[in-house]
């Protein structure tokens, strides 16, 4: 797939592919995420999406570490979850895999979130939850 609307920030790169409502993230190499970096990531994402709510596919492979304070912020509705309708985490890194699985089990995000090692599986899941959410909205508006 071709990267569209590619934009690189200090800590993260963002782009879309076939649909603008699924935003891809790739973190900078060996990124250590503390509270300041977490806030910068969210600010960059909100700037990129112009405040629109989106589904996300986050490549977590480059993340070296995340502080507890940053994790808590990223899991808060006024922080990292702001403007996210659902998130798929992607990584082939053993460390990132352990971190994300632990995060998902302990944090119980308020949005649909799941870990994958395969991009196509992650995209398929995001498309499925997007369709499910759209169907619910149509039913509620009927």
Q: Which of 3, 110, 106, 94 is nearest to 57 (CA)?
A: 3
Q: How far apart are CA 123 and CA 133, in angstroms?
A: 15
The three-class DSSP label of residue 16 is strand
Q: Which of 26, 22, 99 is nearest to 56 (CA)?
A: 22
CATH architecture of 4-141: 2-Layer Sandwich (3.30)
Residue 142: predicted pLDDT? 39
Residue 108: predicted pLDDT? 66
Domain limits, the chain: 4-141
**Contact by Cβ (8 Å): 80, 47:** no
Least-confidence region, from 72-76, 97-101, 124-128: 97-101
């Amino acid at each position: 797939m071709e990267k569209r609307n590619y934009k690189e920030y200090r800590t993260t790169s963002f782009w879309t592919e076939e649909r603008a409502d699924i935003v891809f993230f790739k973190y900078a190499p060996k990124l250590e995420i503390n509270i300041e970096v977490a806030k910068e990531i969210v600010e960059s994402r909100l700037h990129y999406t112009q405040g629109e709510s989106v589904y996300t596919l986050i490549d977590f492979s480059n993340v070296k570490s995340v502080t507890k304070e940053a994790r808590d912020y990223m899991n808060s509705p006024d922080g990292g979850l702001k403007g996210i309708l659902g998130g798929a985490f992607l990584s082939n890194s053993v460390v990132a895999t352990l971190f994300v699985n632990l995060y998902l089990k302990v944090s119980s995000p308020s949005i649909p979130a799941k870990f994958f090692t395969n991009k196509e599986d992650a995209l398929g899941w995001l498309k499925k939850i997007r369709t499910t959410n759209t169907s619910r909205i149509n039913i509620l508006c009927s």
